[in-house]
C-alpha cells in the first residue's frame, strides 16, 4: 500500500485498523472524518499515530458526556480541524467542517434558527445548557457562523462529516462552500457508503469522495480499506448537480 495522507471513515470506536494502515503506509498525516466515539481519551486509542492525526467531529460524538470528553477534553483537542485550515507537512492545506445539519438549528435550504452557538445558548434554559453553551447534542450541529468563516478562507482539501449535493442526502450549500474555498477535493463521512461521484465532478467544480464506515482512502481518492457497508449500499445512485428532484 502507498499514500502520504489517509482519510478515514467513521471509526465508531474502532481504531486498530487505522493505526495498522498508518504504520504500514508510513502516512505523514491521518484525518478522521467524524463519529469517532473513542472509548477512552482519543490519543490513547490512536497510540503511536496520535501525533500525526487530525479529525473533525461527527453527530455521534455528542451522544454522551463521556463521549464528548474523550474527544474535546483529550490531549488531541487542538487537532480538531473544524472551522479552520491547517497546512500539513507536505504543504497541503486542509479545512474541516465537523458536525451535521439539524432542523432545530439549521437545515438548508431552510433559514437558520440560530446563527451561532452563543445565540443558541442564550435561547436555552440554564438547565439544558452544556458548559454554558447549547445543549450537549448541538455541540455537533452546524451553525451558519462556522460555514461563513470557512468560506472566507482557501484550502486544497475540505473534509466534512456531511456530504455535498452529489450524495442523495447531501447539500448544495456545501458545494458552494467548497467552490468559495477553491478546494480541489472534498472527502466526507457520515453516510457509511462510498458512491462514485466522478460523472459529476466537472459540474461540481471539485472532486468528491465518500469514505465508508471504517474505510480508509488515500489522498488521490483510491480506497486502501473498503468500508464495511460499501457493498451493501452500492445500489444507491449518486445525485448529480444537474438532476432535478
Residue 93 banded pLDDT, cuts 50, 70, 90: very high
Q: Under a CB-based contact definition with an 8 Å cutoff, are residues 95 and 157 in contact?
A: yes
Mean pLDDT of the chain: 92
On whether residue 45 sits in a domain, the answer given is yes
197-210 residue pLDDT tens: 999 999 999 999 99
Total number of domains constituting the chain: 1
16-66 residue pLDDT tens: 999 999 999 999 999 999 999 999 999 999 999 999 999 999 999 999 999
On whether residue 154 sits in a domain, the answer given is yes
- In this predicted structure, the answer to whether residue 231 has a pLDDT above a threshold of 80 is no
On whether residue 167 sits in a domain, the answer given is yes
Q: What pTM was estimated for this model as a whole? A: 0.93
Range of the structural domain that residue 177 is part of: 5-225
On whether residue 243 sits in a domain, the answer given is no
On whether residue 231 sits in a domain, the answer given is no
Scored b (16 or more CB within 10 A) or e, 100-115 reads bbeeebbbbeeebebe
Question: Residue 217 is part of a domain; what is its CATH number?
Answer: 3.60.21.10
On whether residue 244 sits in a domain, the answer given is no
On whether residue 242 sits in a domain, the answer given is no
The per-residue pLDDT for 234 is 44
On whether residue 86 sits in a domain, the answer given is yes
Phi and psi torsions of 101, nearest 5°: -80, 135
The per-residue pLDDT for 178 is 98
Amino acid at each position: 500500500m502507498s499514500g502520504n495522507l489517509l482519510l478515514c471513515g467513521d471509526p465508531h470506536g474502532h481504531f486498530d485498523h487505522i493505526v495498522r494502515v498508518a504504520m504500514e503506509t508510513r502516512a505523514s498525516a491521518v484525518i478522521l472524518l467524524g463519529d469517532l466515539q473513542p472509548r477512552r481519551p482519543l490519543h490513547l486509542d490512536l497510540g503511536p499515530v496520535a501525533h500525526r492525526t487530525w479529525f473533525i467531529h461527527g453527530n455521534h460524538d455528542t451522544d454522551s458526556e463521556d463521549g464528548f470528553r474523550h474527544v474535546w477534553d483529550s490531549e488531541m483537542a487542538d487537532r480538531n480541524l473544524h472551522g479552520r485550515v491547517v497546512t500539513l507537512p507536505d504543504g497541503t492545506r486542509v479545512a474541516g467542517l465537523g458536525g451535521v445539519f439539524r432542523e432545530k438549528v439549521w437545515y438548508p435550504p431552510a433559514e437558520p434558527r440560530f446563527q451561532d452557538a452563543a445565540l443558541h445558548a442564550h435561547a436555552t434554559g440554564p438547565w439544558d445548557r452544556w458548559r454554558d453553551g447549547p445543549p450537549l447534542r448541538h455541540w455537533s450541529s452546524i451553525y451558519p457562523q462556522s460555514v461563513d468563516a470557512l468560506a472566507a478562507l482557501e484550502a486544497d482539501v475540505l473534509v466534512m462529516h456531511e456530504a455535498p449535493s452529489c450524495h442523495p442526502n447531501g447539500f448544495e450549500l456545501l458545494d458552494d462552500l467548497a467552490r468559495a474555498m477553491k478546494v480541489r477535493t472534498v472527502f466526507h463521512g457520515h453516510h457509511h457508503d462510498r458512491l462514485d461521484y466522478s460523472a459529476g465532478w466537472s459540474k461540481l467544480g471539485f472532486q468528491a469522495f465518500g469514505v465508508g464506515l471504517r474505510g480508509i482512502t488515500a489522498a488521490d481518492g483510491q480506497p486502501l480499506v473498503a468500508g464495511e457497508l460499501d457493498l451493501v449500499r452500492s445500489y444507491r445512485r449518486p445525485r448529480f448537480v444537474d438532476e432535478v428532484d
